[in-house]
Each structure stands twice: as C-alpha cells, then as structure tokens.
Amino acid sequence: MKIFHNKTELKKSIQALKKNQKSIGFVPTMGALHQGHASLIEQGLANDAIVVVSIFVNPTQFDNQEDLVKYPRTLDSDVALLKTISKDRILVYAPTVEDVYGKDVVSMTFKFDGLEHEMEGRFREGHFDGVGTILKRLFEIISPDRAYFGEKDYQQLMIVKKLVEKQNIPVEIIGCKIHRAKDGLAMSSRNVRLKPEYRTAAPFIYKTLKAAKEKFGTKSANKVTEWVESQFADQELLELEYFIIADAQTLKTVKRKHNKKIYRAFIAVYADDIRLIDNIALN
Ligand code: AMP
C-alpha cells in the first residue's frame, strides 16, 4: 500500500492514474479509523478504481485546543485496517501540517448560505471555516471524481455540497449511512477515549433519538424536544449540549411541521469531556 506524506508525490501518482482513465474516489478522515470510515472506503471502491484516504488531524477545525491535542493519532493501526480492505486500490495521504498549510495555519472565511450558523456552527466557533479550508485544499491536491462523506456529520455533508457548488469544484459528493456499534452508538474516533462507565452509558443517545423519531409522528417538534431534554436531565453521566429538530435541507430549527418537508433530529452530548454527536432522519 502506498503511503504519501508529501503532496507533490501524491499528485504525480494521481496524474499517472488519471492518464490511464482510472477514476479517483476520495475519503477524507482524521484517522483513528474504524468501521464507519471503512464503510465509506468500501462505497468508494464500489464506484471508483482507486480511493485516496487522507489521514490528517486538521488543526484549523478545532475550537478546543485540548480536543486537538488529545485527538487519537494511530497511523500504524490505520494502515493495517486499510490493508484489510484493499492492498492495491487505496492510496494513503498522511501529510504534515506544513505540507498542507505551509507556514500559515489559518482558515479562509466561507459563507455557506446560513448552514454554517446552525448547530455545530453555533457551538464550535470557526469549525466550518476550518472544514471548508482543509477540504478546498485537499480537493485541489487530489482532484477526485467523487468524494464520500458520512451522514454521521450531516451538517458537514450539507456544507461540503454547498462548498463545491459555490466554489465550482468539479467533484460529486456522496453521502453515506451512519455506521453504528451493535448497541447503537454511532462509531467515532473519539469513542476509544470513553472510560468504561461512559461507554456503557453512551448508547442512550441513539436509543433516545429512536424514541424521539417515534414521538415525532404524533407530537410537535417542541414537545419532542422537551421530552428529550427531560430524559437527559435524569442521566448522571451524559450532559446534553443540544437536541434540535431541523429542516433537513436548510438545517433551520423547526417551528411548525409541514407535511411536505423532510426533518432530521440532531444531538450533541458530553460524556465526561468527550463530545459525541449523532442524528436521525425523522420522516
Ligand atoms: P472523521 O475522521 O471523524 O473526520 O470522519 C471522516 C469521515 O468519516 C466523515 O465523512 C465522517 O462523517 C465519516 N464518519 C465518521 N464516523 C462515521 C460513522 N459512524 N458512520 C459513517 N461515516 C462516518
């Protein structure tokens, strides 16, 4: 398996593949790979000849320095997992911060038609400018035909679609289903940091999302939100940051339900100092 730490070498390899009419899929990650990432890569391999997997903990998307420092970095086991998926159709790009940013580790500023002001944008200042900055750079380096993103980060997926539309980046963005542990917890690189009692408590998040979906059939968005908040008030180990029912396109919080609109519920929860997010389609 080829591992690149340098964008010039990676670009050369990709150019040669493109000359041979090989289509390029791209799965951007921050590493500490798990089955959720693997499901994106497998979807990529089903559509594209080659899948480039980037492994890069992007400093500009972290609003919390402690979270950035503690983010797991496990390149060797990541490569071992990738080898079990494919030995000859995956290229790994694991750059240094300098290879991506040069000396200026700063974000550009983006406007995503208001998507950036909702939910994660409200609670993580500058996060989506950091996400936009890194993805614009990675798309320029890799020039993929398709790029694969998880619905686990649904708001990010919508923002990436907006980014490529506004910046005229010629890449097809494909959304992929959320991959969950057997007990329902959405897989996340941060899960490995959960102490055992918090890991045991965490499936309550998805259990509550499923119950909220059920209630949304007959109750108003406000009533469901109040119910979820009351459920978390009784949880000792989980602290609710937000639960929001939003229009799945605009991500604006729902005030009144309309029959023709599509809705989704979004949640962010602290388990100890670890922030977990999840979401569910409601109709
Ligand atoms: P990350 O490494 O957390 O930045 O995630 C890289 C990509 O994998 C993003 O597109 C995520 O949405 C996606 N991803 C992370 N966890 C999951 C999951 N449990 N199921 C599906 N996709 C995921």
Among residues 191, 194, 277, the alpha carbon closest in space to that of 241 is found at: 277
Q: What is the pLDDT of residues 66-81, one digit of tens each?
A: 999 999 999 999 999 9
For 2-176, CATH number?
3.40.50.620
Report which residue type is found at 166. K
The per-residue pLDDT for 173 is 98
Report the distance separating Cα 84 and Cα 74, nearest Å: 16
**Which DSSP symbol is given to 59?**
G
Which tokens hold the place of 247? 């229009």
Q: pTM of the predicted model, to two decimals? A: 0.97
Q: Which residue has the tokens 């972290």?
A: 62
Q: What is the pLDDT of residues 230-261, one digit of tens each?
A: 999 999 999 999 999 999 999 999 989 998 99
Ligand 1 in reach of 176 Cβ (< 6 A): yes
| 37 included as an active-site residue | yes
The per-residue pLDDT for 101 is 97
- Protein residue with least CA distance to atom 5, ligand 1: 29
Among residues 166, 173, 133, 162, the alpha carbon closest in space to that of 43 is found at: 173
Indicate which atom in ligand 1 lies nearest the CA of residue 148: 10
The per-residue pLDDT for 257 is 93
Produce one character per residue of 117-155: b if its CB has 16 or more CB atoms within 10 Å, e if not.
Answer: ebbbbeebebbbbbbbbbbbbbbebbbbbbbbbbbbbbb
Mean pLDDT (whole number) for 211-215: 98
Give the distance (Å) from ligand 1 centre to CA of residue 102: 26
Give the distance (Å) from ligand 1 centre to CA of residue 105: 23
The top-level CATH class assigned to 189-277 is alpha beta
Report the distance separating Cα 253 and Cα 245, nearest Å: 6
Ligand 1 in reach of 243 Cβ (< 6 A): no
Q: Are both 2-176 and 189-277 of the same fold?
A: no
Give the distance (Å) from ligand 1 centre to CA of residue 147: 12
The mean pLDDT value of the chain amounts to 97
The answer to whether residues 251 and 119 touch, using CB atoms and an 8 Å cutoff, is yes
Report the distance separating Cα 262 and Cα 283, nearest Å: 6
Query: What is the distance of C-alpha 276 from the center of its chain?
Result: 12
Mean pLDDT (whole number) for 110-125: 95
The kind and range of the H/E element at 242 are strand 238-247
Helix (DSSP H) and strand (DSSP E) numbers for the chain:
11, 9
Ligand 1 in reach of 159 Cβ (< 6 A): no
Mean pLDDT (whole number) for 33-59: 98
**Which DSSP symbol is given to 254?**
P
What residue spans define the domains of the chain? Answer: 2-176, 189-277
Q: What is the largest CA-CA distance in the chain?
A: 60
pLDDT band for position 214 (cuts 50, 70, 90): very high
The kind and range of the H/E element at 267 are strand 263-271
Report which residue type is found at 43. Q
Indicate which atom in ligand 1 lies nearest the CA of residue 149: 10
The kind and range of the H/E element at 54 are strand 50-55
Report which residue type is found at 278. D
Ligand 1 in reach of 29 Cβ (< 6 A): yes
Give the distance (Å) from ligand 1 centre to CA of residue 39: 9
